Amino acid sequence: MRPSILPAAVMTAVLLAVTSSAAPAQQAILIDRPDLRLDDIPTLPALKSDSPRDTLLFADRFVVSADANEISALAFGTPTLVDVQIPSEVTGTGFNEILQYQLPADYDPEGSARPLVVAYHGFGMSANSVQLQSTIDEWCNSYGWIYMAPTGIDDKLFGSPISQQNVEAAIQFMLDDFNVDPDRIYLVGFSMGGGVVGNFSSRHRDADEIMIAAVATVSGSFDWTMAWFEDPASQPWLENPFNFGDTPGNAPFAYQQASNLHHLSGSYPPFPGSIDITRSMAHNLVQTPTWVTWDTGDSLAYLPSQSSNLQAWLGSQGADTTAVPVSGTTDPGTGLPATHSWAVLDEEALFTWLDGRVVDRSPSVLAARFDEDRAATWLDMTRSSADAFSDASGTLDLVNDQATVVGVTNADVLAVEIGDTGLSLPARVTGVSTDAEGFTLMVRGGVGYLTDPNTGSIVAGQEYAIDGGGAGVQVDGFGTADVTGIAVDWAGTLNLLPDPAPPGATVTLTVDGPAEATATWLLVGTADEVASLPGGEVLLVAIQASTLFIPLPLDVEGNVRAFATLPSSPSISGARLVLQAAFVSGAGLDGISNAFAFDVE
């Protein structure tokens, strides 16, 4: 229960003594990790003819030959492979990214956008190794597609989030500098790289950013916890701070968030082991077409079962997945066994399979697992606990303009981005909590406020988005919220931050109004209730005897920023204020801002 307080006295103390201040300048923030030094990654032991072929450490580094006959048959002009170094200031990680790209011989920067194939190397191999050991670059040229091979900071990183950030920078470089179709980006990776590309696709699903149209894995390694147990030689690299920083026992989530699969402890060996899908990022590949190829006699004996497990689970979920198991792979150049190599891949079959695949940025059925605070197509998650996965599953009914989100766990805020769904406003949104904590369900994308779909009345106690483009409601633990988002085109935005704030804290009021407005009346109340003004503007602050009307001058751009210090008295704890700005000019009322609900802790 909120304590009983005198609203007018509290609001006067909080907001009447404000002083104007210019907005502080903003600047980009790079990752600051002085403890991470590339020379701290252990060097690899020398590769010799008698080095073991049954460990991840060595098997990825044995060189195989591309098929010369296949290459000659693909002759189509003479494209050039180009090496590029993206500076650390651009990657945002503090580390440069080295990549290699190739434009097809018929590339036209003014013509139609081209698909991009991103090919990922194995452990301890350079980006250059892909074009030496496969014909992916030649097939890209034959199809008229663009080819790129990234590094991921270093060749010994297992797709940790920091290395994936560099890969993202490499892909963005290709998007920015060349005529790449952002809806036809394909990933293909070998061994460690097979695990990386699958996980990258699982972790990059923001409809407004890089998404992957299809992913292909070759002799893939998908469970870094299993790799730690089954391949002891790799442990110094897996435990390195650039990777997961510790053992799986001490840092389980770090391993799991970079893995496609997590197998139940004690279920291996014997293989294939039992998947714990609740801790597997492959949950997110259900919407991504996935090609899985491996040699059943792989010299890394624990890997074939991972490929078959991945493909079988995706198939059980109705995913678009293709399994291509082979046996007896040999090096095209030497004829020697090469069961764990790029030679396992049938490039011609893969390119036939890839051709025409386009990313779905607004799936009608969505399975979403979040390892960070991020978006997955039309859902945006802010987690409750940072060291655990969050889950949500959604469906869209475009005929009736409805979105339903169920199975929500470990969520602080879950937002439905209406603009990414294909729904039209007003739209009905239902959210269901599957844990005891509950969450705030936000509906964004031109939404001004929420109503009860059964009665049409405004939902009490709403939260309002800082940018004025959404509103939210609390979903209790194991509870359900059912609301309708109503479209409103606000004339400006208002917020009071931080929200919530403790007694005694300094808060900042920001109002951004129309340029022609000269002043604003700040309305401050304790309740929200929709009302229409004569000009059609929507007022959400309920007009009561205790409602404050505070005049504030605006600068020449129609803006104001002001500071205030909350009373330090504990008696204001639990106070909730609803604010809204009415803009005025010489012509009279110039529009209304969004409402904003401010809470005192």
The mean pLDDT of 35-47, rounded to a whole number, is 89
Domain shared by 293 and 372, yes or no: no
At 121 the pLDDT is 98
Domain shared by 157 and 132, yes or no: yes
- Domain assignment present for 29: no
- Domain assignment present for 308: yes
Q: Is the pTM value of this prediction over 0.75? A: yes
Asked if residue 328 has pLDDT above 50, the reply is yes
Asked if residue 4 has pLDDT above 90, the reply is no
CA dihedral 535, 538, 544, 547 (to 10 degrees): -100
**Phi and psi, residue 304, nearest 5°:** -55, -40
- Which one of 435, 456, 487 terminates a domain? 487
At 507 the pLDDT is 95
At 178 the pLDDT is 98
Domain shared by 495 and 483, yes or no: no
Helix (H, G, I), strand (E, B) or coil at 128: coil
Asked if residue 557 has pLDDT above 80, the reply is yes
Residue 69's pLDDT band, with cuts at 50, 70 and 90, is: confident
Helix (H, G, I), strand (E, B) or coil at 374: strand
Domain shared by 383 and 473, yes or no: yes
16-20, 57-61, 192-196: least confident range: 16-20
**Phi and psi, residue 333, nearest 5°:** -90, -35
- Domain assignment present for 60: no
Residue-wise pLDDT for 467-493, tens only, equals: 999 999 999 999 999 999 999 999 999
- Domain assignment present for 396: yes
64-78, 344-358, 361-375, 550-564: least confident range: 64-78
Residue-wise pLDDT for 409-434, tens only, equals: 999 999 999 999 999 999 999 999 99
Residue-wise pLDDT for 452-463, tens only, equals: 999 999 999 999
Domain shared by 589 and 451, yes or no: no
Asked if residue 32 has pLDDT above 70, the reply is no
Domain shared by 446 and 587, yes or no: no
Domain shared by 497 and 480, yes or no: no
Residue 34's pLDDT band, with cuts at 50, 70 and 90, is: low
Asked if residue 522 has pLDDT above 60, the reply is yes
The b/e string for 528-545 (b: 16+ C-beta within 10 A; e otherwise) is: bbbeeeeeebbbbbbeee
d(CA 87, CA 150): 14
Domain shared by 460 and 495, yes or no: no
- Which one of 437, 464, 487 terminates a domain? 487
Q: Evaluate the CA torsion angle 306, 312, 316, 320 in order and state its sign.
A: positive
Residue 74's pLDDT band, with cuts at 50, 70 and 90, is: confident
Asked if residue 19 has pLDDT above 90, the reply is no
d(CA 141, CA 129): 17
The mean pLDDT of 236-245, rounded to a whole number, is 96
Domain shared by 260 and 302, yes or no: yes
Q: CATH code at 535?
A: 2.60.40.10
Residue-wise pLDDT for 172-212, tens only, equals: 999 999 999 999 999 999 999 999 999 999 999 999 999 99
Radius of gyration of the chain (CA): 28
- Domain assignment present for 227: yes
Residue 116's pLDDT band, with cuts at 50, 70 and 90, is: very high
Domain shared by 229 and 294, yes or no: yes
At 68 the pLDDT is 87
- Domain assignment present for 426: yes
Asked whether 288 and 212 are in contact (CB, 8 A), the reply is: yes
DSSP alpha helices (H): ranges in 204-249? 224-230, 235-238
- Which one of 487, 519, 544 terminates a domain? 487
Asked if residue 442 has pLDDT above 50, the reply is yes
- Domain assignment present for 323: yes
- Domain assignment present for 497: yes
At 29 the pLDDT is 41
Domain shared by 251 and 394, yes or no: no
Q: Beta-strand (E) ranges in 445-547? A: 447-451, 463-464, 470-475, 480-487, 493-497, 506-512, 519-525, 528-532, 538-541
Asked if residue 24 has pLDDT above 60, the reply is no
Range of the domain at 590: 7-22+491-599
Number of domains observed in the structure of the chain: 3
Domain shared by 373 and 416, yes or no: yes
Asked if residue 85 has pLDDT above 70, the reply is yes
Q: Beta-strand (E) ranges in 69-164? A: 81-86, 97-102, 114-120, 146-149
Asked whether 152 and 120 are in contact (CB, 8 A), the reply is: yes
Helix (H, G, I), strand (E, B) or coil at 203: helix
Asked if residue 15 has pLDDT above 90, the reply is no
The mean pLDDT of 61-89, rounded to a whole number, is 90
